[in-house]
Amino acid sequence: MHLYEVLRRPLITEKATSLKEKDKYAFEVAGKATESQIKEAVELAFKVKVSKVNVMTVPGKTRKFGRRQVTSSPWKKAIVTLAPGNKITFFEGV
Amino acid sequence: MKVSTENLENCQIALNIEAEASELDKSLDEAYHHLVNEVSIPGFRKGKAPRAILVQHIGKKNLLDEALEHLIPQLYKQAIESQELKPIAGPQIEITQREPVIFKAIVSLKPEVKLGDYHSIRLEPTPAIEVSEEKVNAAMEEFRKRQGAWVPVDRPVELGDLVTMDIQANVDGKPWLNHKDILYEMDKDSRSPVPGFASQLQGTEKNKERTFSLIIPDDYPIKEMRGKEGTFKVTVTEIKAKQLPELNDELAKNAGYGNLEDMRTKVAADLRVKAEARNRLELKQKALDALVEISEVNYPPILEDEEITELLRNEAQRLGFREITDYLKKANKTEEEIKQELRPIAKKRLTESLVLGKLAEEEKIEISSTEVDNKVDEITSDAEDKEKAKQFFSLPQIKQSIEQSLRTQKTMDQLLQIASGNAENITKGE
């Protein structure tokens, strides 16, 4: 997998925003991406130094859609810890 | 906050207000706290998004707009207080610059009225009213006509008759009217159904069919029929003429008078009262015009607009429309057009009322509450449900409007006194 395909999007949520204080950033990543690939991808994309990556699979959720049960797809979330002194700003200057 | 003022014409002042950065920051902060509770942003609970995220989501402009919405009235109020102005209406605000915030507020001030030397107004006393013999005769004749009864006659139709007829009319070969037994008053100038119809019908005998044709004139209301030839087939079935009663004591008695002579004097007195009232009204208007003529009135245009709206609403209400828009639709005019038409009237009314108000002030005309109460009693005395009427008239705004109209009346009377040269005598006598 090419490094450009690893990161899907940053997660901008209440929880992710509060994690920024600890230099941690959350991303939605490709399902088959590994921790080391994510590290490389973030370093390449944001020109920062990554000290740690944690990943987890967020299970798909079932919802009732009319009379049908529908399951949304599971996806992979990565929490990236940066080395002290590094920073990422998403969507700067809007 | 920095404020500079600029005097405009017509009792208006322009304030140029510039907001300090700290004031704007405070206002932006308030706007954020206000908006964050209203906007839902995915990934955040309501009210929990940080400012940066909110700005990204709704845009900088919206936040600024929200901030200005609160900041501007606040600054305006401060400016008014610091400049010690007393506006009579809301300002017209124009934002000239956003960063730093500069805006211009046009403030309408109290109208200025400078009365001329109104003590020097002198009006020609109106000539004494004379109720001439002819006028009384005309009034009596009018009364006689109203009392007349329709009596069937046996002769051809004449002008002034009331006929019953069957009519069939074709215009340009196509059927138009077809009525049986309709009543028609033979009025020479009648434009119904077409001008000249009555003259054509003249001389028709009873129960004889008569056919004639008329060219429909170019100003006829129905467009399609203009200039075409209409054929009328008419059968008159009954002819009635108006029989006027004899002008004698009996007629007078029936109408509630003692006898004919009594009726004459009463009718004459009635005419005199009416003429006097009309004269007085004219005199009042003349005095008012003279006063307006010598006075200088300056008022902000917003008052004029308010007056126009008021006029428009009254007009619409008078004609039985609930909404002004309905009235506009019916009159087939845009709001702009009709406002343009009403502008001169509004101007006149406004100046008159301002001048009168000033005059009341100068002449120290006061209305006591007992006077208002007396007036209320007078109005309610012939109301059906007295309690209800009393209740209605005890509303403060109704009382106020009664007081206002009483004051206008009193001022008007005072003005008339002055104009007829009686005022000095009164003041000297005191």
- B3-58: pLDDT as tens digits: 777 777 677 777 788 877 788 888 888 888 888 898 888 889 988 888 888 888 88
Comparing CB atoms, the residue among A11, A17, A91 nearest residue B50 is A17
For position A94, what pLDDT does the model report? 45
Distances (CA, A) of A39 to A82, A83, A91: 10, 12, 20
Q: What is the ipTM of this complex?
A: 0.80
CB–CB contact B48 A14 (8 Å): yes
Secondary structure letter of residue B408 according to DSSP: H
Type of residue numbered B38: E
The interface residues of chain A toward chain B in range 66-85, judged by CB-CB distance below 8 A, are none
d(CA B252, CA B260): 5
For position A62, what pLDDT does the model report? 93
Question: Does residue B371 carry a pLDDT above 70?
Answer: yes
Comparing CB atoms, the residue among B44, B56, B59 nearest residue A14 is B44
Which of A12-21, B217-226, B385-394 is modeled with the greatest confidence? A12-21
Q: CA nearest B113: which of B404, B402, B381, B357? A: B357
Contact B47, A14 (CB under 8 A): no
For position A91, what pLDDT does the model report? 67
CB–CB contact A14 B56 (8 Å): no
The interface residues of chain A toward chain B in range 15-54, judged by CB-CB distance below 8 A, are 16-17
Distances (CA, A) of B52 to A59, A79, A82, B56, B164: 30, 21, 21, 6, 88
d(CA B388, CA B403): 20
Query: Which residues on chain A are in Cβ contact (under 8 Å) with B56?
Result: 91, 94
* B423: Cα within 13 Å, side-chain hemisphere: 16
CB–CB contact A16 B43 (8 Å): yes
Q: Any idea which fold B149-243 has?
A: Chitinase A; domain 3 (3.10.50)
Select the residue from A9, A11, A12 to test the B interface by mutation, using most B Cβ atoms within 10 A: A12
B-side interface with A, Cβ within 8 Å?
Answer: 43-45, 48-50, 53, 55-56, 59
For position A52, what pLDDT does the model report? 94
Mean pLDDT, residues B313-335? 72
Return the sign of the alpha-carbon dihedral for residues B404, B410, B414, B416: positive
Q: How confident is the model at residue B60 (pLDDT cuts 50, 70, 90)?
A: confident
Select the more confidently predicted residue: B427 or B19. Answer: B19
pTM of the model: 0.54
For B159-216, how does the pLDDT look when each residue is reduced to its tens digit (9 = 90+)?
777 888 888 888 877 787 788 888 887 777 777 777 777 777 777 777 778 888 888 7
Query: Which residues on chain B are in Cβ contact (under 8 Å) with A13?
Result: 43-44
CB–CB contact A12 B53 (8 Å): yes
Q: Any idea which fold B2-110 has?
A: Alpha-Beta Plaits (3.30.70)
- Domain definitions of chain B by residue range: 2-110, 149-243, 363-430
> How many helices and strands in chain B, by DSSP H and E?
14, 11
Comparing CB atoms, the residue among B48, B50, B56 nearest residue A91 is B56
Peptide bond into B221 cis (omega under 30): no
Q: How confident is the model at residue B291 (pLDDT cuts 50, 70, 90)?
A: confident
Backbone angles phi, psi at B366, to 5 degrees: -120, 150
Query: Which residues on chain A are in Cβ contact (under 8 Å) with B59?
Result: 94
Peptide bond into B301 cis (omega under 30): no
For A52-84, how does the pLDDT look when each residue is reduced to its tens digit (9 = 90+)?
999 999 999 999 888 899 999 999 999 999 999
Select the more confidently predicted residue: B83 or B426. Answer: B83
In B, minimum Cα distance to A13 occurs at B43
Q: How confident is the model at residue B430 (pLDDT cuts 50, 70, 90)?
A: very low
Select the residue from B36, B40, B48, B62 to test the A interface by mutation, using most A Cβ atoms within 10 A: B48
CB–CB contact A12 B55 (8 Å): no
In B, minimum Cα distance to A11 occurs at B43
Select the more confidently predicted residue: A91 or B230. Answer: B230
* DSSP string of B231-291, one letter each residue: EEEEEEEEEEEEEPPP-SHHHHHHTT-SSHHHHHHHHHHHHHHHHHHHHHHHHHHHHHHHH
Select the more confidently predicted residue: B377 or B429. Answer: B377
Q: How confident is the model at residue B422 (pLDDT cuts 50, 70, 90)?
A: low
Tokens of B417: 């006194």
For position A51, what pLDDT does the model report? 94
Q: How far is A19 from chain B (nearest CA, A)?
A: 13
Please name the helix (run of DSSP H) or strand (run of DSSP E) that holds residue B410, with its range, or none: helix B396-419
Please, what's the largest Cα pairwise distance for chain A?
52
CB–CB contact B56 A16 (8 Å): no
Q: CA nearest B163: which of B214, B211, B204? A: B204
How confident is the prediction for chain B on average, in pLDDT? 76
In A, minimum Cα distance to B61 occurs at A94
Secondary structure letter of residue A5 according to DSSP: G
Query: Which residues on chain B are in Cβ contact (under 8 Å) with A16?
Result: 43
